[in-house]
């Protein structure tokens, strides 16, 4: 097994992406309707949105482009007023995905479909300049300033905070009927509830994600939003005290929370402009294709950030800033990755994200079994196994020497072990009698890809044993069993679909809606806890209840897949360990 520093570098890049996401970012469009009773058809629509995946998003799925009333007419008129030609794409309702952009004539590969000039990008710089707090933002000391990712002017606050602050202000103005901003028509078409994890009740988040590595992601998203609020709250208070904030603009925490959700699910990062993060009206109506090639253009940002990097595979157009477009003035350009027939929806990729990552950052959950990016992110670090590893500091030092952090997330998949995992584990688990041997061990593992004997013990065997143990512990950490999760995933979905369409508070028996026996009983019990009725029946009387039940079902489906990945990894570690031991025995003979 020769895994060298290159493969470890790949793993490191992966983690770096995640921590960037944790740094905060944007977005989710939700078709969730306002509070109130909803019909089974509406519930099914929400269900469809959460579980969206293989069917509608498959490249090639057609959306009738025949004459239909124009969607978001005011927004589209505003775009036209700005000189934007939206053809040959038309805005359509695309079923479970909400609004989306559809070809209205056959498109060739590599065609430029959309060219947004800089003036139509809501950039952090622009947000700072147009904010009602601009005088304060200008005064912020250069010491506290950060340089924009685009390397342009120094920004007084992080990009995400500036965009959120201005979005929240725009929302307040819109709510008060103030149409003075030039972004008013854009803000009007943004979803009221982006549907990201920031919309989930905190207690529910912890309960739902217990045992899953997704809890770390949820925590990092919440922490980024909280940090941003901490940063903005005193500024807003000062602006209010100085009379800078118009009386009708609340700039409340709720407004900011909404803005964080919008950014998490809609912000776009532009590699062609040094990773500048922007909101791009119209371009942010592109939906995600789970089958698009890794690294394809992305609308959406969360974490690894919506990127507009090159799309080479199917099902993902390329979206990025092209400096030579518009006669050298530059523009955000969408290019087709292949030919499209009239009526086909055009997709981008939001990045190689697991269904859980999509659920938390964008509010929809493709079936995990159909998502090629589904994984279980195993966290491995020098301090995570033994509370007091006397060699921890030295290990961190050696890891740093090899360009590696003291802890790393490795994406376990059904298909096999991530590159570099065993090398990293072998190092983390090592306990040499002579500590300085860690230096040589690091060089062998990370530079040469060799697993040496350490004090007579096989370091590869130690890594495999550790991996098996970690999978066992991870499997035990889930609060539910596989059987219950399978029933929950199937049962809540069926409960919604089977709900009687008659009567605003129709009920469906979870027993009828789910599997039989113990699994059905478990689903019934779980469903009962999610309803106000307490009579063991699923009552989908309000949006919150139904969304909560559906979320539970989506997360249960994710847990099922995570468990399958852990079980297969565990079995593989055990089999490889047996092989290593057999080989050692035969060498001794
Ligand atoms: C950048 S917006 C795309 C436009 C969005 N459909 C709208 O109506 O505003 C991202 C949001 O679109 C929806 N979305 C995108 N791709 C999807 C997919 N494959 N399945 C279900 N929903 C999707 C999610 O609500 C997501 O938060």
The pLDDT profile of the chain, 589 residues, written as one tens digit per residue, is 222 222 222 222 222 222 232 332 322 222 222 223 233 323 333 334 444 433 344 334 455 545 678 999 999 999 999 999 888 999 999 998 999 999 999 999 999 998 999 999 999 999 999 999 999 999 985 554 555 444 445 899 999 999 999 999 999 999 999 999 999 999 999 999 999 999 999 999 999 999 999 999 999 999 999 999 999 999 999 999 999 999 999 999 999 999 999 999 999 999 999 999 999 999 999 999 988 764 333 333 333 333 333 323 345 799 999 999 999 999 999 999 999 999 999 999 999 999 999 999 999 999 999 999 999 999 999 976 556 789 999 999 999 999 999 999 999 999 999 999 999 999 999 999 999 999 999 999 999 999 999 999 999 999 999 999 999 999 999 999 999 999 998 865 555 444 443 333 333 333 222 333 333 433 433 333 333 233 323 333 344 457 888 899 999 999 999 999 999 999 999 999 999 999 999 988 7
User: Are 192 and 222 part of one and the same domain?
Assistant: yes
Q: Which two tokens stand for residue 215?
A: 């809890």
User: Are 382 and 447 part of one and the same domain?
Assistant: yes
User: Are 96 and 234 part of one and the same domain?
Assistant: yes
**Distance separating alpha carbons of residues 145 and 25, to the nearest angstrom:** 19
User: Would you say the CB of residue 196 lies under 6 angstroms from ligand 1?
Assistant: no
The residue whose CA is least distant from atom 21 of ligand 1 is: 97
CATH number at residue 461: 3.90.1420.10
Strand-pairing partners, residue 411, are 377
- Counting from 1 in the atom list of ligand 1, the atom nearest the Cα of 196 is 27
User: Are 340 and 370 part of one and the same domain?
Assistant: no
Q: Which two tokens stand for residue 173?
A: 């103005």
Residue at 307 is within a domain: no
Res 346: pLDDT: 95
Question: How many domains does the chain divide into?
Answer: 2
Residue at 61 is within a domain: no
Query: What ranges make up the beta strands (E) of 258-363?
Result: 268-270, 276-278, 287-288, 318-322, 331-335, 347-348
The Cα-based distances of 190 to 28, 285, 297 in angstroms read 9, 10, 21
User: Are 282 and 371 part of one and the same domain?
Assistant: no
Res 94: pLDDT: 95
User: Would you say the CB of residue 156 lies under 6 angstroms from ligand 1?
Assistant: no
CATH number at residue 180: 3.90.1410.10
User: Would you say the CB of residue 347 lies under 6 angstroms from ligand 1?
Assistant: no
User: Are 228 and 190 part of one and the same domain?
Assistant: yes
Containing domain of residue 418, as a range? 365-500+535-588
**Distance separating alpha carbons of residues 317 and 319, to the nearest angstrom:** 6
- Choose which residue among 59, 260, 362, 367 to substitute to test ligand 1 binding: the one with the highest number of ligand atoms within 8 A of its C-beta: 362
User: Are 227 and 338 part of one and the same domain?
Assistant: yes
Q: Which two tokens stand for residue 514?
A: 């789910």
* Helix (H) or strand (E) run with residue 251 in it: none
User: Would you say the CB of residue 92 lies under 6 angstroms from ligand 1?
Assistant: no
Residues 336 and 103 sit within 8 Å (Cβ to Cβ): no
Residue at 389 is within a domain: yes
User: Would you say the CB of residue 344 lies under 6 angstroms from ligand 1?
Assistant: no
- Counting from 1 in the atom list of ligand 1, the atom nearest the Cα of 285 is 4
The residue whose CA is least distant from atom 19 of ligand 1 is: 288
Residue at 11 is within a domain: no
- Choose which residue among 26, 89, 97, 221 to substitute to test ligand 1 binding: the one with the highest number of ligand atoms within 8 A of its C-beta: 97
DSSP percent split of the chain into helix, strand, coil, nearest 5: 50, 10, 40
Residues contacting 375, CB < 8 A, separation 6+: 354, 411, 412, 413, 565
Res 539: pLDDT: 37
Res 419: pLDDT: 97
- Choose which residue among 58, 288, 292, 349 to substitute to test ligand 1 binding: the one with the highest number of ligand atoms within 8 A of its C-beta: 288
The Cα-based distances of 220 to 156, 168, 227, 261, 363 in angstroms read 23, 21, 10, 14, 16
Residue at 32 is within a domain: no
User: Are 103 and 228 part of one and the same domain?
Assistant: yes
The residue whose CA is least distant from atom 27 of ligand 1 is: 28
Contacts made by residues 145-154, CB under 8 angstroms, sequence distance 24+: 148/124, 148/276, 149/269, 149/274, 149/275, 149/276, 149/277, 150/123, 150/273, 150/274, 150/275, 150/276, 151/274, 152/125, 153/125
| Residue 544 CB coordination number (10 Å) | 11
**Distance separating alpha carbons of residues 574 and 181, to the nearest angstrom:** 62
User: Are 252 and 384 part of one and the same domain?
Assistant: no
User: Are 266 and 225 part of one and the same domain?
Assistant: yes
- Choose which residue among 25, 27, 29 to substitute to test ligand 1 binding: the one with the highest number of ligand atoms within 8 A of its C-beta: 29
User: Are 546 and 579 part of one and the same domain?
Assistant: yes
The Cα-based distances of 535 to 36, 335, 485, 507, 511 in angstroms read 21, 54, 21, 11, 13
Query: What ranges make up the beta strands (E) of 362-406?
Result: 376-381
- Counting from 1 in the atom list of ligand 1, the atom nearest the Cα of 306 is 1
Residue at 145 is within a domain: no
Ligand 1 centre distance from Cα of residue 130 (Å) = 28
Ligand 1 centre distance from Cα of residue 538 (Å) = 28
Residue at 260 is within a domain: yes
**Distance separating alpha carbons of residues 4 and 449, to the nearest angstrom:** 4
Res 498: pLDDT: 46
**Distance separating alpha carbons of residues 63 and 102, to the nearest angstrom:** 7
**Global confidence as pTM:** 0.81
Ligand 1 centre distance from Cα of residue 98 (Å) = 6
Residue at 59 is within a domain: no
User: Would you say the CB of residue 319 lies under 6 angstroms from ligand 1?
Assistant: no
Residues contacting 416, CB < 8 A, separation 6+: 572
Ligand 1 centre distance from Cα of residue 28 (Å) = 7
User: Are 270 and 379 part of one and the same domain?
Assistant: no
* Phi, psi for 362 (deg, rounded to 5): -130, -10
């Amino acid at each position: 097994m020769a895994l060298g520093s290159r493969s470890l570098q790949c793993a490191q890049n992966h983690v770096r992406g995640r921590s960037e996401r944790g740094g905060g970012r944007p977005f989710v469009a939700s078709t969730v309707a306002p509070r109130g009773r909803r019909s089974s058809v509406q519930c099914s629509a929400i269900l469809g949105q959460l579980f969206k995946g293989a069917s509608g998003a498959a490249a090639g799925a057609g959306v009738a482009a025949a004459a239909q009333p124009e969607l978001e007419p005011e927004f589209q008129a505003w775009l036209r007023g700005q000189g934007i030609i939206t053809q040959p794409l038309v805005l359509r309702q695309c079923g479970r995905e909400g609004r989306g952009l559809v070809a209205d004539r056959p498109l060739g590969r590599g065609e430029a479909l959309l060219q947004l000039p800089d003036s139509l990008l809501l950039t952090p710089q622009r947000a700072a300049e147009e904010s009602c707090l601009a005088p304060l933002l200008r005064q912020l000391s250069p010491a506290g300033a950060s340089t924009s990712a685009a390397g342009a002017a120094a920004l007084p606050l992080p990009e995400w905070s500036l965009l959120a602050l201005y979005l929240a202000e725009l929302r307040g103005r819109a709510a008060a009927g103030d149409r003075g901003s030039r972004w008013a028509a854009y803000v009007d078409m943004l979803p009221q509830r982006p549907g990201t994890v920031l919309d989930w009740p905190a207690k529910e988040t912890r309960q739902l994600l217990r045992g899953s590595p997704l809890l770390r992601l949820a925590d990092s998203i919440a922490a980024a939003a909280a940090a941003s609020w901490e940063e903005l709250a005193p500024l807003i208070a000062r602006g209010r005290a100085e009379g800078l904030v118009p009386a009708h603009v609340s700039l409340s925490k709720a407004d900011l929370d909404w803005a964080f959700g919008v950014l998490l699910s809609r912000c776009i990062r532009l590699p062609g402009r040094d990773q500048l993060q922007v909101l791009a009206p119209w371009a942010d109506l592109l939906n995600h294709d789970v089958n698009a090639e890794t690294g394809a253009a992305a609308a959406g940002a969360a974490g690894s950030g919506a990127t507009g990097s090159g799309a080479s595979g199917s099902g993902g157009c390329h979206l990025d800033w092209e400096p030579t477009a518009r006669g050298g003035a530059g523009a955000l350009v969408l290019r087709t990755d292949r030919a499209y027939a009239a009526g086909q929806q055009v997709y981008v990729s939001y990045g190689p994200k697991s269904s859980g990552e999509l659920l938390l950052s964008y509010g929809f959950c493709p079936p995990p079994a159909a998502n090629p990016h589904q994984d279980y992110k195993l966290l491995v670090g020098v301090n995570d196994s033994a509370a007091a590893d006397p060699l921890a500091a030295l290990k961190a030092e050696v890891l740093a020497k090899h360009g590696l952090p003291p802890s790393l997330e490795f994406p376990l998949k059904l298909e096999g072990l991530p590159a570099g995992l065993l090398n990293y584990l072998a190092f983390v688990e090592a306990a040499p009698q002579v500590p300085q041997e860690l230096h040589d061990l690091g060089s062998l593992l990370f530079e040469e890809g060799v697993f040496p004997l350490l004090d007579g013990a096989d370091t590869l065997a130690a890594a495999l044993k550790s991996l098996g143990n970690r999978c066992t512990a991870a499997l035990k950490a889930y609060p539910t069993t596989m059987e219950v999760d399978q029933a929950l995933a199937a049962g809540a979905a069926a409960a919604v679909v089977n709900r009687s369409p008659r009567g605003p508070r129709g009920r469906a028996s979870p027993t009828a809606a789910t599997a039989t026996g113990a699994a059905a009983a478990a689903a019934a019990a779980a469903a009962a806890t999610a309803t106000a009725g307490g009579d063991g029946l699923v009552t989908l009387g309000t949006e919150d209840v139904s969304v909560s039940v559906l979320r539970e079902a989506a997360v249960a489906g994710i847990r099922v897949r995570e468990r399958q990945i852990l079980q297969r990894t565990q079995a593989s570690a055990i089999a490889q360990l047996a092989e290593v031991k057999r080989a050692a025995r035969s060498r001794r003979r």
